[in-house]
Amino acid sequence: MTAKKKAVQIADFTKYIRWFWKLFLFGFLGFILLFLLASWGVFGEMPDHTVLENPKTNLASEIISADGKTLGKFYFNDNRTPVGFKELPQQLVDALIATEDARYHDHAGIDARGTLRAVMKAGKGGGASTISQQLAKQLFHGEGSKNTIGRITQKAKEWIIAIRLERQYTKEEIIAMYFNIYDFGNNADGIRSASRIYFGKEPKNLELHESAMLVGMFKNSSLYNPRPHRNPEGTQNRRNVVLSQMEKYGYITEAVKDSVQKMPLSLNYSPESHREGIATYFREYLRGFMKEWTEDKANRKPDGTKYNINSDGLKIYTTIDSRMQQYAEDAVQKHMPKLQAEFDNQNTPKRNATAPFLEIDQDEIADLMDRGMKRSERWRKMKFDLKKSDEEIKASFNKPVNMTIFSWEGEIDTTMTPLDSMRYYKSFLHPAMMSMEPQTGHVKAWVGGMNYKHFQYDMVKQGKRQIGSTFKPFVYATAIDQLHLSPCDTLPDTPFCIEKDKYGNPEEWCPKNSGGQYGGTRTLKNALGNSVNTVTARLMDKVGPQPVIDLAHKLGIEEDILAVPSIALGTPDLSVYEMVAAYSTFANKGVYNKPVMVTTIEDKNGTILYQVTPETKDVLSAETAYVTTKLLEGVTESGSGQRLRHSWAKNQPVYKEIITGYPYEFTNPIAGKTGTTQNQSDGWFMGMVPNLVTGVWVGAEDRAAHFKTITYGQGASMALPIWAIYMRSCYEDESLNVSTDNFEKPNRLSIEVDCLKFKEDQDKNGLDDEGDEPEIDF
């Protein structure tokens, strides 16, 4: 080879060297420029220091029970409640690092080795995104662009934000933020929601196989959806990949990996929606409470805007006890199917041609159904949203459609006309129940119906129904207060009338006893215990309706009540909420406490925004309240509520069919009152022990749907079993400390409540010629 040719080859090689370094330098400078341009915001706005410090995420408001459990959440799209790093189990963190970023603790936001590998293999050897980069993507720009240039600029922004996040937060904080921001599907936003929805537990209680499954979902939660009929097999395979990664990097042994990989997913799927879960009716009441609270100008954010309960991450601390709430819902679930089965049995078309209605004709039924149509949500939407005529709407009610209907055996998919579905639903008996601590007014349990998804009208506070004999204690308390009566005083049990116009009654009022039985005299305790109408009428005649109404209003009754004698037998329509609060005054020595449902509201940072101020007032003397309570004890000792104590009736048909859980065999002091309205349309039971007052109502939507006989339709049959089952559960849970003690006796008691001592005193004063106890001399 000539020297000239050698010189040319050397020159060519040198040229290639120069081009290589030029390209390298150009690439390096371009890389630096890309970073600089991204950091300057040329490719789109970049989060500054303050935004990084407070990333904007929608947080669900959490409803917290008195015993620290989550009852539910308010959210629109994001069901997210953040947790701190200390609340994450170590194996969950290990699974994430092993699967997503094995060198997490060795880099400052960008994994150089992983990035180089991804570039050399054109992304085919796996991605290079670190946990910090993925968090940056989730927080600030989502899925990003699909074109090449867009992906490059997005990646540059991710790198810049990841580095800034690493400077702003600790490694532990970044991991917690990543777990909190990820959408695990099925309304499971963030690790806490995911843990509760998929496994029914808090994150700190997750086991290894559960942690691995959730980490596996980071790859694609839509694809790896563990629910049946979605992709449980693929989810399990992905979980096992996570376990293999954990074994590869030394977090678990091969033996543990092999063992856990054989385990099933073991889901405990517990959806968190507004219509499912515990305390649904209470939560809906609370939504209204919070709406009013946020509308108040005194409850605004520092910038003057309103709080949003669906996205501002408020913590709402309530008085509801999750254990007692569950016992209350369980009691309803145990009793109502049996009661409904017997009601349906008595209302078959062969037994009742107008089923489920009684004592009304076909024209009245047609009118009732027509009114029901016009009150329905279907009518409202077609009338006002779709602008349909009345004729078109009525025609639509007679066209069969596919629908899912409620039954006590589970939902049923069927085809029927909306009109037929209305009649079907009108055949159901509905429950309502509220339980309250009388000394504080704290509401412990609230059951507004049997299934919020299908029956959304709350019968605790929204609904008001005729209360029957549960109103009588207000008459007795007024008489005790005014006339200083003892439970042992007697009155004749004979027909009695209040003359026309004496108390504004347009006609003579002559109430009859249930069953038409009269005779002799009764003590007030016996008369109230057996709900004797004539004795109540005599007391009403002596005190007058207005003082009784005045007392009822002082006891928290909100309804306007007409001042006529017939109110003595419970003609007013009142709510369970009002009745429980009123009865609680008797148990609380005459002091009324307005029911409390919310104690504290905090913002997402724990700043207190609201604290309840109890509303109390003295209504009765401690003596009057105590004497009234002793009267009410007679109801469960020998009156209409005595089935709470005895066990001899278990072979009687009605007890077998609908007295769920009988025999109850309570032995502790219980004050209570049953209530049954005309035609058995409503059944009530109010029950009190010293530190817990509970009211139960049962009835159909329309008063025309009811049991034919009082044997089945009375409060002691329809409502009392729910109270008994609930209280038995409360007593079995000793952590609740529900009292079995006597009601506290006032220090100064001038009225004798012991009828044996009362009789001895009467004997000293002499009996009448026939040896009977003297009647009350008004």
Residues 233-286 have pLDDT tens digits of 999 999 999 999 999 999 999 999 999 999 999 999 988 888 889 999 999 999
Q: Is the pLDDT of residue 21 over 80?
A: no
* DSSP track, 317-373: EES--HHHHHHHHHHHHHHHHHHHHHHHHHT-TTT-TTTTB-S--HHHHHHHHHHHH
Q: Quote the pLDDT of residue 45.
A: 55
Read off φ and ψ for residue 458, nearest 5 degrees.
Answer: -85, 115
Cα(327)–Cα(332) distance, integer angstroms: 9
> What stretch of H or E contains 290?
helix 280-295
pLDDT digits (tens, 9 = 90+) for 187-244: 899 999 999 999 999 999 999 999 999 999 999 999 999 998 889 999 999 999 999 9
More confident residue, 759 or 48: 759
For 774, the token pair is 């003297």
For 689, the token pair is 């022990």
- Mean predicted lDDT score pLDDT of the chain: 89
Q: Is 216 helix (H, G, I), strand (E, B) or coil?
A: helix
More confident residue, 153 or 729: 729
> pLDDT band at residue 112, thresholds of 50, 70 and 90?
low
> pLDDT band at residue 609, thresholds of 50, 70 and 90?
very high
Residues pairing with 577 in the sheet:
none
Q: Is 227 helix (H, G, I), strand (E, B) or coil?
A: coil
Kindly report the CA angle at 100 between 97 and 102, in degrees rounded to 5?
50
DSSP 775: B
Q: Quote the pLDDT of residue 593.
A: 98
- Determine which of 107-116, 303-312, 346-355 has the lowest per-residue pLDDT on average: 107-116
More confident residue, 126 or 309: 309
Q: Is the pLDDT of residue 323 over 60?
A: yes
> pLDDT band at residue 13, thresholds of 50, 70 and 90?
low
For 597, the token pair is 């449902």
Q: Is the pLDDT of residue 770 over 50?
A: no
Q: Quote the pLDDT of residue 271.
A: 85
Q: Is the pLDDT of residue 153 over 80?
A: no
Q: Is the pLDDT of residue 110 over 90?
A: no
Q: Quote the pLDDT of residue 769.
A: 41
Q: Is the pLDDT of residue 480 over 90?
A: yes
Residues pairing with 775 in the sheet:
490
349 cis-preceded (ω within 30 degrees of 0): no
Amino acid at 452: Y
Question: Could you give the angle at which helices 472-483 and 576-587 cross, rounded to 10 degrees?
Answer: 30
pLDDT digits (tens, 9 = 90+) for 33-60: 555 555 545 555 555 545 556 666 889 9
Alpha-helical runs (H) found in 593-719? 622-638, 653-658, 710-713, 715-718
> pLDDT band at residue 161, thresholds of 50, 70 and 90?
confident
For 424, the token pair is 């079907």
Q: Quote the pLDDT of residue 771.
A: 42
283-302 mean pLDDT = 95
Cα(314)–Cα(687) distance, integer angstroms: 35
Q: Quote the pLDDT of residue 540.
A: 97
pLDDT digits (tens, 9 = 90+) for 372-421: 999 999 999 999 999 999 999 999 999 999 999 999 999 999 999 999 99
- Beta carbons of 397 and 377 less than 8 angstroms apart: no
Task: Calculate the alpha carbon distances from 268 to 299, 327, 453, 458 in Å.
Answer: 39, 21, 21, 29
Q: Quote the pLDDT of residue 52.
A: 57
pLDDT digits (tens, 9 = 90+) for 436-460: 999 999 999 999 999 999 999 999 9
Cα(316)–Cα(608) distance, integer angstroms: 10
- Of 587, 576, 582, 583, nearest to 684 (Cα)? 576
Residues pairing with 50 in the sheet:
none
